[in-house]
Structure 1
């Protein structure tokens, strides 16, 4: 007969295995429930500008505005932790002949509601349609998370140009790299599959990547670039800048200007 401590070993190991599995499943449930808190980081609006309102089912979405007469307009979609209004002074100086519209996502910059991929996409379409009524030549600019918003919108509406700053192939790729032990493919609700829309784009498109991007791998941007039809997109890399510091480079606004 084996010693008592030996006979108890299988039960102890089974108990530990059950605890580990239960904790893992609990973490998966937590990721499912709270994932949007890990994607979106709403910021207040720090630069006061005139505001345009886009409403949807009782939700008030605010758009920071620099009005300008004429055919040209620029619609900007920011990153997941960006106060888009902070870009208004530099963009107003760089693009004096454009009306500027910067979307404050739901929960950001005084907008009500909660952000999600589908909700932001609806707001983007509503904003485009409102701007297009006055400005027939619209450039769409999206940075980081916003690149996924801009490319989807460009596949749905008649934009004139598209600029994607620090763009990614899909949010799923980024999440899978950050949470490698979890089944991200099955848990993620907001996927921002930019690759899915790239093949539908037929307007001049510029991708601007950061040479030292610590958030979005260059391989992700490259995969997105390869989904565009030949001759539609151009990829430019600003060396020695990171994901968040790219806008500090003097090359940033120059490339943006060339993209428009």
Structure 2
């Protein structure tokens, strides 16, 4: 009898876990509360606002170049990780690429942007952001940079709009595959309400692509990045940083070197998809 009771208790506990994963996954995937307040911004930075078709407004930041441009105008369009503040994204990319205009937008539900975050809305917003920047800044070249989950958004953008380059940092093949890697005992196919599959989007992207990953990443295991390599038609840089994890990769001198080299190669090609 005790064995039957144990089975019942176990089954109830498992169902409670399933319910928690189903109902709280948005907060886990998009922890807007962790994207802290903006710090000091570079001189010349200006705030942007964009009205979306559903009436919500999203907000972003544009940091102009502080180093004289060589040749055509380049815009770096950044998409941060799920706990990144867009101002931090823009400031970080500006530090890497001072010769470029840098733009990043706060995801929906990440203050001051309105709405609620979801994979569907973030993927749909990216092409509209691109069109807004293309019209307002009139750049000669646009290179998208996606960090972690932002890589999924940048990959979708590259499959929908012409880009001059795509840099993906700690990227994964799909949210479903990533979730299964961490929770093989859960029916992810039934529970997951947010779909993002860069492995499908990248297959049709002919723009030059760079993949930069950490060899000891436990959040995005190397096999999830490995799955992307065979499908990228124009992989111009594939750099795995030894000893780097998901978050400490940004502290490595090799990371900065990889990011600068990725853009250098894309500038030399400058072929739009």
Q: TM-score range by the shorter chain?
A: 0.7 to 0.9
User: Deviations 1:107-127 (Å, cap 9, x if unpaired)?
Assistant: 224212211011111221111
SS of the aligned residue for 1:246 comes to helix
TM-score normalised per structure 2: 0.84
Q: Which residue of 1 aligns with 2:74?
A: 72
Alignment of 1:46-57 (within 5 A): 46-47=38-39, 48=41, 49-56=45-52, 57=54
Q: Which residue of 2 aligns with 1:45?
A: 37
Structure with greater Cα Rg: 1
> Distance in 1 between the 2:46 and 2:111 partners?
13
**How far has the Cα of 1:15 moved from its partner?**
4.4
Whether 1:209 and 2:210 are equivalent positions in the alignment is no
Whether 1:192 and 2:196 are equivalent positions in the alignment is yes
Whether 1:241 and 2:233 are equivalent positions in the alignment is no
User: Deviations 1:3-35 (Å, cap 9, x if unpaired)?
Assistant: xxxxxx3xx544443343233223212211111
Say how many residue pairs are matched: 249
Q: Which residue of 2 aligns with 1:27?
A: 17
**How far has the Cα of 1:71 moved from its partner?**
2.6
> Distance in 2 between the 1:214 and 1:44 partners?
23
Give unpaired runs (5+ residues) of structure 2: 264-273
TM-score normalised per structure 1: 0.88
Q: Closer, same or farther in 2 for the Cα pair 1:93/1:20, shift >3 Å?
A: closer
CA contact (8 A) 2:90 2:103 kept: no
Whether 1:126 and 2:128 are equivalent positions in the alignment is yes
Whether 1:258 and 2:261 are equivalent positions in the alignment is yes
**How far has the Cα of 1:209 moved from its partner?**
0.7
CA contact (8 A) 1:214 1:242 kept: yes
CA contact (8 A) 1:201 1:232 kept: no
CA contact (8 A) 1:84 1:102 kept: yes
SS of the aligned residue for 2:210 comes to strand
User: Deviations 1:176-207 (Å, cap 9, x if unpaired)?
Assistant: 22222210121111131111111111011000
**How far has the Cα of 1:88 moved from its partner?**
3.6
SS of the aligned residue for 2:77 comes to strand
**How far has the Cα of 1:147 moved from its partner?**
0.6
**How far has the Cα of 1:223 moved from its partner?**
0.8
User: Deviations 1:69-120 (Å, cap 9, x if unpaired)?
Assistant: 9631010001111223224444324323311111211122421221101111
CA contact (8 A) 2:79 2:104 kept: yes
CA contact (8 A) 2:49 2:57 kept: yes
User: Deviations 1:21-53 (Å, cap 9, x if unpaired)?
Assistant: 233223212211111111111113313442111
Q: 2:94 aligns with which of 80, 92, 95?
A: 92
> Distance in 2 between the 1:13 and 1:117 partners?
42
> Distance in 1 between the 2:206 and 2:158 partners?
9
Q: Which residue of 1 aligns with 2:270?
A: none
Give unpaired runs (5+ residues) of structure 1: 1-8
| Aligned-residue RMSD, C-alpha | 1.9
> Distance in 2 between the 1:87 and 1:32 partners?
29
CA contact (8 A) 1:61 1:123 kept: no
